[in-house]
Amino acid sequence: MQGKGRAVIAGLGVALPPATVQEDLWEGYFSRHYASGGKRGLAKRIFQNSGVRTRQAAVSPLLEDVSDWSTERRMRRYQVEAIPLGKEAVGRALTDAGIAADELGLLAVCSCTGYATPGLDIHLARDMGMSPSLQRLFVGHMGCYAALPGLGTVADFVTSRGLPALLLCAELTSLHLQPPDTRTDIQQIVSHALFSDAAAAVVVTPQPSDGYAVSNVAALTDTTTAGHMTWDVTDLGFRMGLSPQVPDVLSLHVRELMAGLLGPHGLTTADVDGWAIHPGGPRILDVVQERLELTDEDMAASRGVLSAYGNCSSPTVLLVLDELRKRAAPPQRIVLLAFGPGLTLYGVLLERL
């Protein structure tokens, strides 16, 4: 990248609502939610095969059943829950980077699970003492891959302006629990078995003494499959559409994406020792592993995050990055991969300084 130095991830912070064991969610709520219409057995198998062991919910169905709430009521609750969660993640990222809130030149927020004006960006800037001249960006409704275009945009700002920036991804998927259908809607069952809540923030600075430099960003979108993944605003929250063909589409394109990400640097997958792959579900991870010829060790961090945290939408790939950073011997090169509506594949190459 050209400009005033390289953009480097200097700090990362994570904030999580209370966690619940997947089996307890099934026994305590979803076994009753899917008791009618002959769906209970199918739903139980989907929950058991989801790859999720524990996950978080700001609004737990074990305590509150929001499935009949209006969208307005859900959006009001989003503000109540998302602001403190976002503050916690941002505070931890700033501390990790050794940066004060008023030093930031840009705050970018990604979220597809809630909307209000003034939004998270304004509330956080005000409550955390960020500068009045701070530039702000809100990225909405991009779904699970939003962290990567967000990171690319933040990195471009840092490179061109020479100022630190922060990206926050915050999602409360628990607010979009849907009512049980009278028909067997497998897409909703899969969504209810996988999705979770989290917030993750990264601080990006002009080149410090250490950290991970953002070396490249690549994207690939297959608009012929746009209907395979949807996120529709309804009167009862946001409703997920998730075709079982999504892994097959990713299989067709993921190698081309990698060529566009690594090729300009003269690299191949063999030169990458850290993989942060968005764990959209077990089949997605299986397909990526097969097509890129990755080892079980390459996939361990992504599968571990799916098991421990579920699919948290946009923050999830950052949770995997955090796991890689914490290793006794952190990787020298990390590839972040995420997928979402479009169908869109996004990749980011990080190189340790």
Active-site positions read: 144
Residue 268: exposure state from Cβ atoms within 10 A (0-12, 13-18, ≥19): exposed
Mapped onto helix, strand or coil, the DSSP state of residue 350 is strand
Residue 85, both tokens: 């969660």
**What is the phi-psi region of residue 56: left when phi exceeds 0, alpha when psi lies from -120 to 50, beta otherwise?**
beta
Dig out the tokens for 133 from the structure.
Answer: 């001249």
Q: Which residue reads 């991970």 in tokens?
A: 212
- Per DSSP, 38 falls in state T
Which residues, including other chains, have CB under 8 Å from residue 244's CB and lie 6 or more apart? 186
Separation of alpha carbons 264 and 176, rounded Å: 41
Task: Identify the bridge partners of residue 201 per DSSP, sorted by sequence position.
Answer: 13, 168
Amino acid at 233: V
Side-chain half-sphere exposure of 68, counting CA atoms within 13 A: 2
- Number of H helices and number of E strands within the chain? 11, 13
Burial category of 5 from C-beta neighbours within 10 Å (exposed 0-12, middle 13-18, buried 19 and up): middle
CA atoms within 13 A on the CB side of 62: 15
CA gap 249, 162 in Å, rounded: 39
Going from the C-alpha of 81 to that of each of 19, 20, 86, 139, 171, the distances in angstroms are 15, 17, 9, 19, 10
